[in-house]
A = this chain, B = another copy of it.
């Protein structure tokens, strides 16, 4: 099993696209062999510029992501796209399939994959991170991660990406609504998409003042906002490809800034920490899934449900059991 996976990883590293697709599925399924694959590819990772794009539904993110991929392809860059979809609780699969997401005029040489977001235990971050590593080691220069909505998966993307892009559109609502989206502060680059619509000026002005307020509140709570990088606001019309090159320029400039300022290294270290914690969780889950432990766990769950034990007492009992077995 493991030997076959390592072989698959080597074929992927040698440029086999179908091996890549199969490995992504394994990562997405949380296959226990993923650890072996990651060991094999880890030395080949760390080169790609990982860019997260987020924003409310209807902002045209999918179209923008593909337009951006085309712009990068014209610059000779290898591009991978990961689109994170909300999970359907019924089917367990992504709500939107790949077919809905891929445009008919998709640029060639772009690897696209949509993934379902997970409910529990940081599952989304973990599997998306694994897929990013695969695309990175496969030789993609740029990996674009698109998330939908304004939830935790968007915050999680920041922990996966070097550069975060927040996409707005004119007329989505007043300031409080934008604040409620809760994702505006996290961007390195802002986009007002559908900028040929009425209200684009107002949206851009709101963004500019919100960036200013954000920097001031950071100072007020004693934090140092990033002085070397003022997030630019780029107006695009993704459907017509307008200003998408300007967006690619802004993203390249942010990458150059990260490398020069030493922030790139800082991000790599934070990601390594998050990844270590994720790997610890995987190991914990694997131990808990072992049959002898699983039956004890079922008893403890019954005791919690019956209000005989609280969850911490049960957790301590389970840990004592694991220690006795070690």
Contact = CB atoms under 8 A, between A and B. Distances in A.
Contacts of A153: 151-152
Integer count of this chain's copies in the complex: 2
Interface string A310-324: 111111101100010
Contact of A155 (B87, B148, B279, B282): B87
A10 B298 CA distance: 30
Interface stretch (A12-20, A255-263, A301-309): A301-309
A232 interface: no
A120 B122 contact: yes
Contact of A179 (B95, B179, B297): B95
B88 A182 contact: yes
* A58, A90, A155: most-surrounded residue (chain B CB, <10 A): A90
Mostly, the A contact residues are: helix
B150 A91 contact: no
A181 to B, nearest CB: 6
B42 A307 contact: yes
A102 interface: no
Given A120-B159, A151-B153, A305-B269, A182 B276 contact: no
